């Protein structure tokens, strides 16, 4: 058989390719599957954080900011520990990005505060002189869509097995329970903010987009 293959270069190349491909599959796939499991400490987003993620996507933050730190010293020195695949286990869709008009935000929750984000989103040049980032004042008056965020979380739980309502994971429950929890979470964010209109809105049971967005950014660690 091998003598015949040696006389047939095309078939020899095919057999060689299939052999190497199978060996690679057996070696790589199990490890890849293991690495794709949720990293220890990784939790699904809360309803408020998902609402903020919706704002992040709606206002195209992902067009200028990546969420993927590569394993190079220049990256880790600036942004922190490189990204692990398991950290994205509950990200739907992924927001890895490929352009950095602004810095990577994968671990922005480790070094930026609620107060910083509030000032930055209202007028970026106040905190980052010379920035090309636009202002987002509408986030202070528009209300976050908690209902869609809840539907998103519930869909992920039912279709993808995201472990809401399990030990140590965010509680989802009914819409009424989820809405009440999101508003309580919003109060914690608003307590660290200065904008009085935002504070008043949260006190009246509303959740401005800026509050949800900050909750999401604070969760990126």
Give me the pLDDT at residue 69, please: 96
Distance, CA of 188 to chain centre: 20
Confidence category of residue 100, pLDDT binned at 50, 70, 90? very high
Sign of CA dihedral 139, 141, 145, 147: positive
Mean pLDDT in residue range 68-74:
94
- The answer to whether position 167 is within a domain reads yes
- The answer to whether position 54 is within a domain reads yes
Question: At residue 1, does pLDDT exceed 60?
Answer: no
Tracing tokens 């903020």 back to the chain, one arrives at 52
Where is average pLDDT lowest: 22-36, 102-116, 152-166?
A: 22-36
The two three-digit tokens of residue 8, written as one number: 């047939």
55 to 49, 110, 146, 218: CA distances (angstroms): 10, 21, 11, 14
Q: Examine the domain organization and report whether 116 and 155 are in the same domain.
A: yes
Q: Examine the domain organization and report whether 128 and 169 are in the same domain.
A: yes
Give me the pLDDT at residue 17, please: 86
Mean pLDDT in residue range 25-44:
72
Question: At residue 116, does pLDDT exceed 90?
Answer: yes
Q: Examine the domain organization and report whether 162 and 195 are in the same domain.
A: yes
CB atoms within 10 A of CB 36: 13
Q: Examine the domain organization and report whether 192 and 86 are in the same domain.
A: yes
Give me the pLDDT at residue 3, please: 66
Q: Examine the domain organization and report whether 73 and 173 are in the same domain.
A: yes
Helix (H, G, I), strand (E, B) or coil at 208: strand
Domain count of the chain?
2
pTM, two decimals, is: 0.84
Domain of residue 202, residue span: 47-219
* Contact of 180 with 186, CB cutoff 8 Å: no
Give me the pLDDT at residue 98, please: 86
- The answer to whether position 121 is within a domain reads yes
Give me the pLDDT at residue 38, please: 80
Q: Is 184 exposed, middle or buried (0-12, 13-18, 19+ CB in 10 A)?
A: exposed
The two three-digit tokens of residue 160, written as one number: 């993808």
Give me the pLDDT at residue 219, please: 97
Where is average pLDDT lowest: 19-28, 47-56, 142-151, 163-172?
A: 19-28
Distance, CA of 133 to chain centre: 20
Helix (H, G, I), strand (E, B) or coil at 59: coil
- The answer to whether position 42 is within a domain reads no
Mean pLDDT in residue range 158-182:
94
* 17 or 218, which is more confident: 218
The two three-digit tokens of residue 218, written as one number: 């604070």
- The answer to whether position 40 is within a domain reads no
Give me the pLDDT at residue 12, please: 76
Mean pLDDT in residue range 66-88:
94
Q: Examine the domain organization and report whether 8 and 87 are in the same domain.
A: no
């Amino acid at each position: 058989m091998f003598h015949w293959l040696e006389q047939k270069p095309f078939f020899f190349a095919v057999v060689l390719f299939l052999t190497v491909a199978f060996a690679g599959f057996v070696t790589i796939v199990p490890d890849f599957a293991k690495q794709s499991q949720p990293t220890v400490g990784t939790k699904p987003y809360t309803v408020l954080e998902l609402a903020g993620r919706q704002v992040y996507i709606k206002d195209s933050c992902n067009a200028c900011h990546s969420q993927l730190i590569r394993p190079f010293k220049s990256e880790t020195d600036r942004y922190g520990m490189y990204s692990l695949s398991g950290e994205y286990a509950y990200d739907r869709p992924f927001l890895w990005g490929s352009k950095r008009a602004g810095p990577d935000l994968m671990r922005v929750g480790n070094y930026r505060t609620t107060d910083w984000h509030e000032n930055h989103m209202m007028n970026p040049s106040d905190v980052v002189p010379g920035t090309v980032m636009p202002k987002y004042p509408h986030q202070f008056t528009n209300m976050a869509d908690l209902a869609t965020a809840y539907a998103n979380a519930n869909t992920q739980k039912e279709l993808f097995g995201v472990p809401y309502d399990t030990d140590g994971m965010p509680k989802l429950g009914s819409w009424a329970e989820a809405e009440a929890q999101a508003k309580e979470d919003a109060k914690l964010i608003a307590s660290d903010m200065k904008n009085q209109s935002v504070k008043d809105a949260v006190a009246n049971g509303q959740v401005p987009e800026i509050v949800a967005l900050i909750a999401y950014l604070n969760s990126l660690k």
